[in-house]
Amino acid sequence: MAAFDGAAPARRTGAERRAALTPIVLVVAGGLSVQFGSAVAALLMPKAGALGVVTLRLAAAALILLVICRPKLRGHSRADWGTVLAFGVAMGGMNTLFYLALDRIPLGIAVTLEVLGPLALSVFASRRMVNLVWAGLALVGVVLLGGGGFDRLDPVGAAYALGAGAMWAAYIVFSARTGRRFPQADGLALAMVVAAVLSLPLGIIESGAKLTVPSTVALGAAVAVLSSVLPYTLELMALRRLPAPTFAVMMSLEPAIAAGAGFLILDQALSTTDALAIALVIGASVGAVRSRTGSAPRREG
């Protein structure tokens, strides 16, 4: 009210500024962890294959979360278990399709195509006409990425990334429902077990004994920590002090972080056109998120 009375607003103290910046730093750190974890996963693929990496990552993350959360198995209804099962299927599908895409196309482009899933969810969930502008902006970005045809990118890899985006949208929906039915991170831990169990046969068929090599297992555990356990913890801490819409806007910057990780670790340089396309999709995501309210999407992919 003081601002409306003509009084000058009080300046923030150093401690207050640091307190305001802390959740932002946590979100950025979580995004860096996810995308650099994906870069490490790409390095692991020649040793274990895309499906083998998914299996190692999900299995390690499930074990870590089970130890940390120790979820209770009793006292849940059939609807609760149905929700967590759907959450696990969405999580497993998202991870599997994303890593299959990562095996064929650059990391930054894969994440850019994947983020179209949450963007479409935001557009459809909001009935505001302005979101059609954001959808059109994202479409322009996708056309630029394809260079007039997705054969430049590897059409199968692009299709996998788009499929991962659809699974990300489903993940957001069932993540929210699971969070309402299970305390703390119990639902996430149980869903991670479902995803790990579903991915296990695929990983064994593709990689077999390669999954038991100690160095491969160690890298798989590192990917699980970087891409699942650490970012989830950081985001959970940030959301206690950061408005959900602000969090969601920052999550929209992931394609840029992914492009940086791909360049630094995988030597995946982007063309000027690719960089412009990524910027357009990021702008569309930020605009769509800012035009609607609600909980911020989180993911494990």
Report pLDDT for 291: 65
CA distances to 104, 208, 234, 258 from 28, in Å: 27, 36, 9, 12
DSSP code of residue 118: H
Q: Does residue 71 sit within a domain? A: yes
Report pLDDT for 301: 53
Using a CB cutoff of 8 Å and minimum separation of 24, what contacts does 127-136 make? 128/291, 128/292, 130/287, 130/291, 131/288, 131/291, 131/292, 133/287, 134/284, 134/285, 134/287, 134/288, 134/291, 135/284, 135/288
Q: Does residue 234 sit within a domain? A: yes
Q: Does residue 232 sit within a domain? A: yes
Phi, psi for residue 56 in degrees, rounded to 5:
-60, -45
Q: Does residue 300 sit within a domain? A: no
Give the residue carrying structure tokens 């609600």: 294
Q: Which domain holds residue 266?
A: 22-290
Q: Does residue 183 sit within a domain? A: yes
Q: Does residue 166 sit within a domain? A: yes
Between CA 39 and CA 53 the distance in angstroms is: 12
Between CA 296 and CA 301 the distance in angstroms is: 15
Ranges of residues in the chain with a pLDDT under 70 are: 1-20, 125-127, 146-152, 236, 239-240, 242-249, 289-301
Full-model pTM: 0.79
CA angle 289, 31, 241 (to 5 degrees): 65
Q: Does residue 296 sit within a domain? A: no
Between CA 73 and CA 148 the distance in angstroms is: 51
Report pLDDT for 277: 83
Phi, psi for residue 189 in degrees, rounded to 5:
-60, -45
DSSP code of residue 300: -
pLDDT tens sequence across 166-210: 998 888 888 878 888 888 788 889 999 999 999 999 999 999 888
Burial (0-12, 13-18, 19+ Cβ within 10 Å), 73:
exposed
Domain count, the chain: 1
pLDDT tens sequence across 58-74: 999 999 989 988 998 88
Residue 192 and residue 58 in contact, taking contact as beta carbons nearer than 8 Å: yes
Q: Does residue 13 sit within a domain? A: no
Phi-psi region of 154 (alpha: psi -120 to 50; beta: other; left: phi over 0): left
Give the residue carrying structure tokens 């999580």: 91
